[in-house]
Structure 1
Amino acid sequence: MLRPYPGMAPWLTTVVTLVDAAGRKPIQDLDLDGIAANRAAVYPRGRLAQRVLGAIDPSVTITTAVADGRGGTRIPLRLYRSGRSGPGAPVIFFYHGGGWVQGNVLNYDPLCADLAAGVGAFVVSVDYRLAPEHKAPAAAHDCIDATRWLLARAEQYAVDASRVAVSGDSAGGNLAAVVTKAFRDAGADGIRAQALIYPAVDCTLASPSIDEHASAPILTRAGIHAFLGHYLDGSGVDPRDPIVSPLFGDLRDLPPALIQTADLDPIRDDGLRYAAALASAGIPVRVTNFQGAPHGFASLAGAYRGGEAHRRELVGFLTAALSAARAGVGG
């Protein structure tokens, strides 16, 4: 049964209704077995699925590696290289969404392959540990450690460690923002850009849009509370700690940012507030709020009418930032 949502186009309403009803219970109704099943689910790759989710660029080669993390942790990586990302290519690290609880790197193949082909970059998708088995800040530590591990092997992977960008959606946008702050705090200056797609940056849940879109498709207020409970409850981490809420703490001297938000998303205002906070700290920031879009629209790029514009802006921003770094422009 279709569940119309104000401001959403009929075709997109049909798609998100099917996504919501695809045999997956809401996160708040799942036990550990249900969560594990959701994590393992891989999107179909047929022609209709490609129309909705996007196709994997055939010019991109996908391989894997495993990074070493703190405490003996082993962190799987999924690597994307196109014909344009030869020796000395810039690097884009991507951190997937899923509320720090769900999601997997395979379902981001279309997006990561687009970045590899469109930007001419070597793309690294980090398969970080997930809650509730691994509480905060395990996910953040894995993303920081995997990023450092690969950049320390820049010669082995034939990449330019001085031209690096980070990106991610939702919880992955949170992790990308956390990584940029960790690198700044360590005095490392290789990260030249951060591209955050509807990022969750405030674990105190103070954004007004959470109540405005409490019953939105794809992500609801109840779902947000459940995801955050899995990630934070029992972790001993304060919700205002920048390791989980990058909105807080010092935002100076961070790389330029692109922030893309979804207008019908309960965490829309997280992204808008973060953009305003970065700008107040003197960071160049570009923010685009995509009208009629639900949370998760970047994974439904073929179904959402603004999907092409989202992808074009994302690729253009990263290309410009990494090209400027090669030319020695900016910080």
Structure 2
Amino acid sequence: MILLAILLPFGSFLFLGVSVWVFMKEVLTVHVYPAITHPVRIHMMHYLFELVITWGNLLEKMKICSMPKFFRFVQDRVVSKKNPGVLVEDLRFGTIPVRLFQPKAASCIPRRGIIFYHGGGCAFGGLDCYHNICSFLARETDSVLLSVGYRKLPDHHHPVAFRDCLSASIHFLKTLNTYGVDPSRVVVCGESVGAGAVAMVSQVLLGRQDLPQLRAQVLIYPALQLINFQLPSYRQNQDVPFLSRKFLMTLVCKNLAIDLSWQDTMLKGSCIHPDAWKKYRKWLSSDNIPQRFRRQESQPQFPAPFNEAAYLETKHVLDAELSPLLADDKTIAQLPEAFLVSCEHDVLRDDVLLYKKRLEDQGVPVTWHHVEDGFHGCILLFDKIFSFPCAREVMDSTVSYIKGI
């Protein structure tokens, strides 16, 4: 009882202190552009997001629970799963958990298939968190959808997540008849880091004679390169909600098992070997970004003077599995048609613009949808009480495109 009497006031004081500290950080450092609809609402949602992350970091420091696991625990508890019009089945493809969504209505012909990879920086998200998004896509497009629950931080680092997405996709493609899927209409779809996996899987599966060819790739604000963090969108949106540039760098370093002390060096590009930049600048330079997205601002020197020690620690960022924008022209030219979604207030906006240019330069058909008031991660809020018009716009445009396949 004495111990309880001591711990209760201490716990209350700690909770209040953390809440106030996160609130002050939200007010002083987070930038919400006036163009974003419901700015107060987004501040509220981001404050709760940061509060959960902060508590997760505290629990991790006390060696009680890792931050990603705590965040996923909270994230999954706030999702009220809905299955109107679809049948849902949890399966395992080997060690990989997957979730199958099938329309309840009978169909006399094989349906379209969707393979979906969720976002979350390889730290957050999961089958439950993205359940309603997948249910909505399957129902509205009348498709059989497979959601892949790839393994994540802190127990698994790159390339585990990508390999899980690839393995689950191959298994599904080999058994399409089992699920009533038309092999000529399989779409691979993803959000954020999951959209990056879409690009990587699409490249790896090219030329596989034993598998049906993918009909289309759908990338919703994807992460497609880990080299140029000085693109206009990375600087313009470095303090926006849900994915600041600093938070992005932290997730990248943790997933690649790179010490966080190298963040600033990576940010400036000092770890990029001059020969590598000479080869890749034609694809990754800010000069490839349309003028209307660049604004009137000074362009920092990139890359900064070469640091060999940083290069040796981080050179795996040049792997095409991590940066699919680095694939050669021959590979890009063979890719299936693409639907790309970009959000104006997103650090990853320019990754989309660079990928769009690469595809179009090689003659690959591209449908591009740009959301002027959009922000990173918005689709997770499309069916919530505190929803945003941009979230619905992204979902509706994605459904419209897939239905045309």
Bin the TM-score by the shorter chain.
Answer: 0.7 to 0.9
**Cross-structure match for 1:145:** 167
Q: Report the Cα offset of residue 318 of structure 1.
A: 1.0
Aligned 8 A contact 2:337 2:366 in 1: yes
Query: Is 1:35 equivalent to 2:68 in the alignment?
Result: yes
Q: Of the two structures, which has the highest relative contact order with CA contacts closer than 8 Å and spacing of 6 or more?
A: 1
Q: TM-score, normalised by structure 1?
A: 0.85
Q: Return closer, same or farther for 1:113/1:282 CA change in 2, 3 Å cut-off.
A: same
Give the aligned partner of residue 81 of structure 1: 102
- For 2:245, the equivalent position in structure 1 comes to 221
Structure 1 residue identity aligned to 2:248: I
Is 1:307 matched with 2:391? yes
2:257 alignment counterpart = 233
Distance 2:184 2:135 in 1: 22
Confirm whether residue 119 of structure 1 aligns to residue 145 of structure 2.
no
User: TM-score, normalization: structure 2?
Assistant: 0.70
CA contact (8 A) 1:183 1:189 kept: no
Matched, 1:197 2:220: yes
For 2:203, which of 161, 181, 185 is the aligned residue?
A: 181
Deviation at 1:292, TM superposition (A): 1.6
Instruction: Point out where structure 2 has 5 or more consecutive residues left out of the alignment.
Output: 1-22, 259-312
85-94 or 230-239: bigger deviation: 230-239
The 2-side partners of 1:198 and 1:43 are apart by 25
Q: Say whether residues 1:14 and 2:92 are aligned partners.
A: no
Partners of 1:84 and 1:264 lie apart in 2 by 39
Gaps of 5+ in 1: 47-54, 69-73, 322-331
CA RMSD of aligned residues (A): 2.4
Residue type at the aligned position of 1:293: G
Match of 2:337 in 1: 256
1:277 and 1:220 mapped to 2: Cα distance? 26
1:20–1:218 contact (8 Å) kept in structure 2: no
Task: Look up the equivalent residue of 2:345 and give its one-letter code.
Answer: L
Q: How many residues align?
A: 308
> Given the alignment of the two structures, is residue 24 of structure 1 paired with residue 108 of structure 2, yes or no?
no
State yes or no: 1:100 paired with 2:128. no
The equivalent of 1:316 in structure 2 is 400
Structure 1 Cα separation of the partners of residues 153 and 234 of structure 2: 22
The farther-off stretch of 232-241 and 290-299 is: 232-241
Residues 263, 290 of structure 1: 8 Å contact kept: yes
Contact kept, 8 Å, 1:84 with 1:121, in 2: the verdict is no
- Residue 237 of structure 1 and its aligned partner are, at CA, apart by 7.0
Instruction: Tell me the alpha carbon deviations over residues 282-322 of structure 1, each in whole angstroms, 9 at most, x when there is no partner.
Output: 1111112211211111112252223333222101111112x
Q: Is the 8 A contact 1:272 1:287 kept in 2?
A: no
Matching of residue 136 in structure 1 with residue 167 in structure 2: no
- Confirm or deny: 8 A CA contact 1:100 1:171 kept in the other structure: yes
Give the aligned partner of residue 169 of structure 1.
191
Q: Does 1:208 align with 2:232?
A: yes
Shift of 1:77: 0.2
Match of 2:376 in 1: 295
Q: Quote the residue 1:245 is aligned against.
A: 323
1:187-210, Cα deviation, whole Å (9 max, x unpaired) = 445210111100000111443311
